[in-house]
Chains A and B, each alone.
Chain A
Amino acid sequence: MKTLSIQNLHASIGEKPILHGLTLTIPQGEVHAIMGKNGSGKSTLAKVMAGHPDYTVTAGDVFLNGESILGMEPDVRARLGLFLAFQYPMEIPGVTIANFIRAALQARLPEDQELEATEYYAQLYAKMDALSIPRQFTARFLNEGFSGGEKKRCEILQMAMLKPSYCVLDETDSGLDIDALKIVSSGVNALRGPDVGMLVITHYQRLLNYIVPDKVHIMAEGKIVLSGDKDLALKLEAEGYDWIEAL
């Protein structure tokens, strides 16, 4: 079975350790959720997996379909099929959405192969329609001047176009009103399937009403402290995080 597997991961930023031996396996075809308080290390986990240069892995490993990815550049990991939907997507002035996604797709092709433009635009427009993104957005500069909801929809658009085998969604619900949340969730649900593994990182249970997970993990102080099914999220919502600390 193909999996994204995190084994005993320890990581620091500067001198400060944040992840303390985190172990988690996400098989393709499943959606896992990680919940945790602010500061529990959720976003660090996402960035470490994607290869952010500010973090140092001090122990453990991350395997994508059995292959260790920690020694790889972020772009190599991405081309292997790892996608991170950012909590705070960056603004790239002067680079249009259409050109950016096109460049990202082109980067996945062999050097002598040119992306077919007509087909590309047909796909792009179809996915934009599904996410209720107006056509004129293709000519807008990536994330520049976008509202919070527009940025998140644009992340899901990129995810849909790049067809990753593992998606990590970092607080995708933050800054979304209920309508935007529904659009984004249905966009994510449309990508669920037997060939995709997903890790949904969130602070609130609300998102999990729309993206229903197969498993829920609770994270505290840099590791997983409790795992269960989707009911665990409901319990957390009802009782807060305090009882976790008593465990």
Chain B
Amino acid sequence: MNELQPSNSTMAEQVQIDRSIGDFSYNVDYTFDAGVGLTEETIDYICDVKKDPDWVRKFRKEGYKKFLEKPMPTNWASKDLENIVFENIRYYLSQGQAPKRTWEEVPEDVKKTFERLGIPEQERKFLAGVEAQFDSEAAYSNIKEAVGKQGVIFVGSAEGLREHPEIFKKWFGKVIPSGDNKFSALNSAVFSGGSFIYVPPGVKVSHPLQAYFRINAQNFGQFERTLIIADEGAEVTYMEGCTAPKFETATLHSAVVELVALKGAKIQYITVQNWSANVFNLVTKRGLAYEDAEVKWIDCNIGSRLTMKYPGVIMKGRRARGEVVSIALAGDGQHQDTGAKMVHAADETTSNIISKSISLGTGRSTYRGLVHIPKHLKKCKNNTECDALLINTNSRTDTYPAITVRGQGHSVQHEASVSQINAEQIFYMQQRGLSEAAAMSLAVNGFVNDLVQQFPMEYSVELKRLIDLEMEGSVG
């Protein structure tokens, strides 16, 4: 135990295969292990371990039923989904301890992992609170005292549903019903971990709250569940990061994230997804924006084998705003199937979608966008821009925009472009002394530059580094 285990055969090989910072794993003893495969007993096991109240047990079982009923969406999505073997996955793994409030109390092997990923350091530098999830449960969860004093609640989902049922129950599963799709149903059945955040009226949280999701075990499925409620006039920024070691077998990550921005509130949700290339990342994310409220998703997908994620905003109140800014980088063998859903459900609502994707080698990026403005509404606006950059001749990009606008007096704009970095640009940069890989990196960073600016500084630096690493491997 506590010994560093290279996840692929040799260290040298590992360094060559995966240059990313997250590719390592420690041997950890799990106190609770739901075993392999999913049945009603698995769900009962999870309920018992987590000491779920009855209504949660019932909610899980209904979710399980819907999961079994719902077909795989292979009729419109990638056939690669058929390669997920649900019977081979472990649905719950934990050391059975409540999340710690200080890093000193976190078990050594888990602490080492997060230290290596730089989480405690980031927390000291620029975060208002951190939750660090290791496999099924949070190992650490803490909020800066000053923020807690303002009445902000930032805890794990289990603590949220136990300690704050009056707020939790009101919104849980309401933005995304468990039967929304097969994977939201699966998450509803076996969810564990994730954050619960409540920001009281008028409170503006000045620094971001952050969650970090770490998969350590092989054949494992991580199913966190996050619920964020910003009460009237409140403002909060939440960031999530994630990594996993590169295993030979497939790993599943299937989260559900629900956001509620009440009147005049603002929620900004930032994701930097850097799962290893064996992870199926199938995530449902949606926000509700009430009158004059704003929900903004800033979504960056670099890792995973297949990501399917279409953050959405339902603009329920007058003048509500929804925004999705997304960057996807599909490397060799990866498929980033991402996009946005904007549902206008009140007058004078505004939505904005900006998506940029980069496909390298045999990588494939797909944009799917849905914009819905029904007939009875007035003065709604949508702007959609999606730009794709192809690096190699065998790279692929697809765009599937679905815009339904009924009624009059709406304004809708849609622009799309596909471009390639041309050889003359690379030659020009090489003539200034930059290697071919450095020239490519610079051009790719230039392509996403305007979107990267929207990330907090610490994340934009990390993003640039990740893009550089990907490009280094793709040239030569």
Contact = CB atoms under 8 A, between A and B. Distances in A.
B119 to A, nearest CB: 25
Interface stretch (B62-70, B85-93, B420-428): B420-428
A92 B428 contact: yes
B434 A107 contact: yes
A95 B442 contact: yes
Nearest to B443: A92
B431 A95 contact: no
Interface in A44-80: 50-54, 73-75, 78-79
Interface string B131-143: 0000000000000
B431 A74 contact: yes
B422 to A, nearest CB: 8
A162 interface: yes
A221 B82 CA distance: 63
Contact of B438 (A84, A91, A103): A103
Nearest to A164: B433
B445 A94 contact: yes
B430 A78 contact: yes
Contacts of B447: 93-94
A5 to B, nearest CB: 20
A246 interface: no
Contact of B442 (A78, A103, A158): A103
Nearest to B446: A94
B233 to A, nearest CB: 35
B433 to A, nearest CB: 4
B170 interface: no
Q: How large is the interface on A (under 10, 10 to 19, 20 to 34, 35 or more residues)?
A: 20 to 34
A145 interface: no
A162 B433 contact: yes
Interface string A99-133: 11101100110000000000000000000000000
Given A73-B430, A74-B430, A95 B445 contact: yes
A162 B432 contact: yes
Contact of B428 (A53, A90, A141, A162): A90
Contacts of B429: 90, 92, 100
B41 interface: no
Contacts of B428: 86, 89-90, 92
Contacts of B435: 73, 75, 107
Contact of A104 (B423, B433, B436): B433
Given A92-B443, A94-B446, A95-B443, A103 B427 contact: no
Nearest to A78: B433
B157 to A, nearest CB: 39
B448 interface: yes
A104 B446 contact: no
A194 B450 CA distance: 43
A103 B443 contact: no
B446 A141 contact: yes
B449 interface: yes
A123 to B, nearest CB: 16
B436 A95 contact: no
Contacts of B423: 53-54
Contact of A94 (B431, B433, B434, B450): B450
A78 B431 contact: yes
A152 to B, nearest CB: 14
A94 B431 CA distance: 19
Interface string B120-148: 00000000000000000000000000000
Contacts of B432: 75, 78, 100-101, 104, 107, 158, 162
Contacts of A104: 432-434
Contacts of B445: 94-95
A91 B443 CA distance: 10
A73 B436 CA distance: 9
Interface in B411-468: 423-425, 427-436, 438-439, 442-443, 445-450
B433 A75 contact: yes
A51 B433 CA distance: 12
Contacts of A107: 432-435, 438
B427 A94 contact: no
Nearest to A86: B428
A84 B433 contact: no
Interface centre among B427, B442, B443, B445 (most CB of A within 10 A): B427
Contacts of B442: 92, 95, 99-100, 103
B471 to A, nearest CB: 13
Interface centre among B424, B431, B434 (most CB of A within 10 A): B431
Nearest to A82: B431
5 contacts: A75-B430, A93-B447, A95-B445, A107-B433, A108-B433
For the complex of A and B, the 5 pairs showing the least CB-CB separation, nearest first, are A94-B446, A94-B449, A95-B446, A74-B430, A90-B428
Given A75-B435, A99-B442, 12 more contacts: A73-B430, A74-B427, A86-B428, A90-B429, A92-B425, A92-B428, A93-B447, A94-B449, A95-B449, A104-B432, A107-B433, A141-B446
